[in-house]
Structure 1
């Protein structure tokens, strides 16, 4: 089989540093993205953030679709973008594979020709490109679908064709833009598991852009959270989910988050409310507890819970097998209760209740 030409020579030399080393600075009107990203070979990093945080801008900058205003972008030690030196590499010359949210398969081409397209662009002859494309379709479980066009494929099958097309060119960096967002719940579950298998086998760096925390937790080795164009938190999934540092991250992982001033086993919040905590801490601190830790009572409870407060129910929504109850009061909070408990308490919006959380259910850590 004919070898695929090297798209960027510098990116294929032996290199011991991070596969991706980028400081992305992009100005778009009044919005500025300034994000540092370093991804090792074989590592999958998830980039998360609310709408408008800059996730898509970062992905477009990495793909070469959005020039950098400042900073740098290097793959395996080779500069692709460095504005101060007037270095910029066109998208087609970057050793990068991209899977877009809507896959962007060519509607007039068969699955095998869609996968072969990038190989042909890299200089492989038609016969060799199709042979390699067929191998990749077999690897993603679509060996019998090579002659089908995109309209004849299901959403999960189209996603796998797009992934095969991106991986077939042996990218140094793989970019995934909400790759599971277009799938229904059942297909998403199966495809997520299959995608995890392929990402584990990919030797290059991978950046997954997503708003779905489950996709990030299942597929990524490390999380990078961006808000308003800046990195606000990063780390492995266990650290980020256990110790959120912004309201967005807390909502993402399903925790109640508060910031205050710790004094021993108490954290004093800005609104004069104090939370008792099992952890001993001094100085600026965060406190978290899960909605499942919040117990609701019709009257002020007696017992061991050291944190109790009067609250007003502002909303009730289905949340998995439970009900998520939104509470206003000295502090805002979310509580998870079973449908049976909600019926017993006759919970309704506007109702006055008492909330209670044991100190042992809280976690305090430095801010």
Structure 2
């Protein structure tokens, strides 16, 4: 447990050998605080941290046997790449020659053997990230902490380094905890995702399960789904002031989801009256690549639709427009709340 002013982080977090756990959550949820508490950089007000059976909480950061990769890498500007990587082993008691030999092996593993004598200012963002990773792994940690390790990279470099990081994490025998705001990084790198909001765990599971069955609005937005909580009875879910039909046969408190692409929009009431049909007002229209995202406001409920730019023009969609929205019952997915 960590208390910082009015904020309280109370989190039970486990990670097994060879497992990568991703911490996801909105800004201010406590992700980086959790990571820094594990590293010994933030004091805890209660609880414990155990690594291989040993309680780390009484130990200072430098004695915890933990490797950490920060968002801005924090390489020593006055040291060469080789000496940056050798710094950790030297701090753990290795001699100069042994530390440099270990550093050289790690630079070779991350593909930077030819940059041993370079200074950090001579590196690209992707190269600096790999040096920071090599420095963290060179101490042979039982726990590896990664705080937004890809956030400072451009999109192309991010893809390349994400793939390289995945390979290195696959070969890491210790536990790894990754903090990220990017769901793609979490889905690609993690074996398990832990979602925290307001300092509390709100959802946990394998990436595919979290993406398929979000349990909060934040997670639903993250994975791109419309999410509602309501009460199901005989194939109908009551949500706020409206109802949605589904083909799932559940009763009781449930979550209901559907993809924005499943929402069909009409300027006038469509023929045939689809089972899930409601009048909505356009709150916003956003261009996303070759698609457009249309935010709809209720009553009976808010929703997000995804259509083509041609449909935006054809339907004359703009803020304040009144339209009809429809979702097929077969496009909805219902699961217990």
TM over 0.5: yes
1:43 equivalent to 2:13? Answer: no
Pairs aligned (count) = 336
What pairs with 1:169-248 in structure 2 (closer than 5 Å)?
169-248=139-218
The partner residue of 1:67 within 9, 33, 43 is: 43
SS at match of 2:121: helix
Match of 1:30 in 2: 6
Do 2:183 and 2:222's aligned partners in 1 also have CA atoms closer than 8 Å?
yes
Identify, as 1 or 2, the structure richer in strand. Answer: 1
Q: Which residues of 2 match residues 1-367 of structure 1 at below 5 A?
A: 25-81=1-57, 88-270=58-240, 272-303=241-272, 305-329=274-298, 330-367=300-337
The residue aligned with 1:22 is: none
Deviations 1:291-326 (A, max 9, x none): 000010111112373101111111111223210110
Give, in whole Å, the separation in 1 of the partners of 2:289 and 2:160.
19
Root mean square deviation, CA, Å:
0.9
Q: Secondary structure at the match of 1:279?
A: coil
Once residues 190 and 321 of structure 1 are traced to their aligned partners in structure 2, the CA distance between those partners, rounded to angstroms, is 24
Counterpart-to-counterpart distance in 1, 2:152 and 2:261: 31
1:67-109 deviation digits (Å, cap 9, x = unpaired): 211111100111112xxxxxx1000001100000000000101
C-alpha distance in 2 between matches for 1:153 and 1:282: 58
Q: Is the 8 A contact 1:156 1:183 kept in 2?
A: yes
Contact 2:229 2:253 in 1 (8 A): yes
Q: Distance in 1 between matches of 2:317 and 2:113?
A: 54
Aligned to 1:15: none
Distance 2:234 2:120 in 1: 62
Distance 1:286 1:264 in 2: 15
Q: Is the CA contact (8 Å cut-off) linking 1:304 and 1:358 kept in structure 2?
A: no
Q: Give the Cα–Cα distance (whole angstroms) in 2 for the partners of residues 181 and 302 of structure 1.
A: 48
Number of the residue aligned with 1:18: none
- What whole-Å deviation, never above 9, does each CA across 1:320-358 have from its counterpart, x for those lacking one? 321011011221110000112222222222111100000
Report the Cα distance in structure 2 between the residues aligned to 1:153 and 1:194, rounded to whole angstroms. Answer: 17
Offset of 1:209 from its aligned partner? 0.4
Structure 1 unaligned regions, length at least 5 = 1-24, 82-87
Asked if 1 retains the 8 angstrom alpha-carbon contact of 2:239 and 2:301, the reply is no
Supply the distance in 1 between the matched residues of 2:308 and 2:71 (Cα, whole angstroms). 36
Unaligned runs of at least 5 residues, structure 2? none
- Structure 1 residue 264: Cα displacement: 1.8
C-alpha deviation, 1:267, in angstroms: 0.6
Q: 1:319 to 1:141 in 2, by over 3 A?
A: same
Q: Bigger shift: 25-34 or 159-168?
A: 25-34
Distance 2:222 2:88 in 1: 36
Q: CA deviation at 1:57?
A: 0.9
